[in-house]
């Protein structure tokens, strides 16, 4: 009898968790779409698509609220064990990361509205689209790694964030050159730089999701000693003009 009762409780928790995970996957899908569409609207100068990204963010925000409510309800109702509790709390953190990525996509879409009124700056919009595509693929893999509890895939995602940082640094130097060449480019370049920075920060949020997968599997946070921080910082201090540090850690 007692065994049955326990069994029943475990199953109820599993069912709840499945519901929560389905919702986070839905949220993840919308966020992936927002990343891609924000970058695409910029490159194709599609104001209508940009507006869709901006208005679509409300749905992502609503999903985060629902996820938080649901997670709190599950904790209160099921009183999960330490390990299960960790899973639920990680979902709450992941949804916060996803919500931030949604915000950053929305911000890019806002800037599209301003940038269409200015001259395009070289091939920077295409570079930004490639960067966004890379982050979107990382997010897809990070979410897969969560569902499959695939530590190796999660670590792969964390590694790939360096490529995004690299792309960002290259683009940043390019934008500096455009500004130095012609001061009339400065305003557009500043917008483009904000966009690059937003995509780079998306990469950090995706990395944070992947780090939580590693944490769930190993109990250790790979983020504690992420190599990129120190390198970027030293780089900035040594090279000055060219190595503006982008790391916020």
Question: Closer to a second copy at the Cβ: 90 or 141?
Answer: 90
In angstroms, the Cα distances linking 32 to 68, 105, 142, 187, 201 are 20, 9, 11, 28, 14
Binding footprint of a second copy on the chain (CB under 8 A): 65, 68, 72, 75-76, 79-82, 85-86, 89, 92-93, 96, 103-104, 106-107, 110-111, 113-114, 117-118, 176, 179-180, 183, 186-187, 190-191, 193-194, 198, 221, 233, 236-237, 240-241, 244-245, 247-249
C-beta closer to a second copy: residue 21 or 247? 247
Q: Whose Cβ is closer to a second copy: residue 152's or residue 249's?
A: 249
63-69: Cβ within 8 A, 24+ apart: 63/23, 63/26, 63/27, 63/30, 63/95, 64/27, 64/95, 64/96, 64/98, 64/99, 66/23, 67/20, 67/23, 67/24, 67/27, 67/91, 67/92, 67/95, 68/92, 68/95
Q: Smallest gap, in angstroms, from Cβ of residue 30 to a second copy?
A: 17
For a second copy, which is the closer residue by CB, 141 or 192? Answer: 192
Least distance in angstroms from the C-beta of 229 to a second copy: 9
């Amino acid at each position: 009898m007692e065994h049955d009762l326990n069994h029943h409780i475990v199953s109820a928790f599993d069912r709840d968790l499945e519901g929560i995970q389905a919702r986070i996957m839905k949220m993840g899908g919308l966020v992936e779409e927002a990343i891609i569409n924000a970058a695409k609207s910029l490159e194709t100068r599609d104001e209508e698509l940009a507006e869709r990204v901006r208005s679509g963010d409300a749905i992502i925000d609503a999903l985060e609220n629902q996820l938080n409510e649901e997670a709190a309800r599950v904790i209160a109702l099921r009183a999960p064990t330490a390990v299960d509790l960790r899973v639920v709390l990680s979902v709450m953190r992941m949804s916060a990361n996803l919500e931030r990525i949604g915000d950053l996509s929305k911000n890019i879409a806002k800037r599209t509205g301003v940038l269409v009124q200015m001259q395009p700056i070289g091939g920077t919009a295409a570079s930004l689209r490639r960067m966004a595509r890379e982050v979107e693929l990382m997010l897809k893999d990070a979410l897969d790694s969560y569902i499959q509890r695939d530590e190796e895939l999660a670590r792969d995602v964390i590694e790939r964030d360096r490529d995004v940082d690299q792309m960002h640094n290259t683009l940043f130097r390019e934008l500096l050159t455009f500004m130095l060449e012609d001061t009339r480019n400065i305003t557009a370049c500043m917008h483009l730089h904000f966009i690059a920075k937003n995509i780079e920060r998306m990469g950090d949020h995706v990395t944070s999701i992947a780090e939580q997968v590693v944490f769930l599997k190993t109990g250790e946070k790979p983020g504690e000693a992420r190599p990129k921080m120190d390198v970027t910082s030293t780089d900035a201090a040594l090279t000055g003009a060219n190595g503006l540090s982008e790391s916020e850690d």
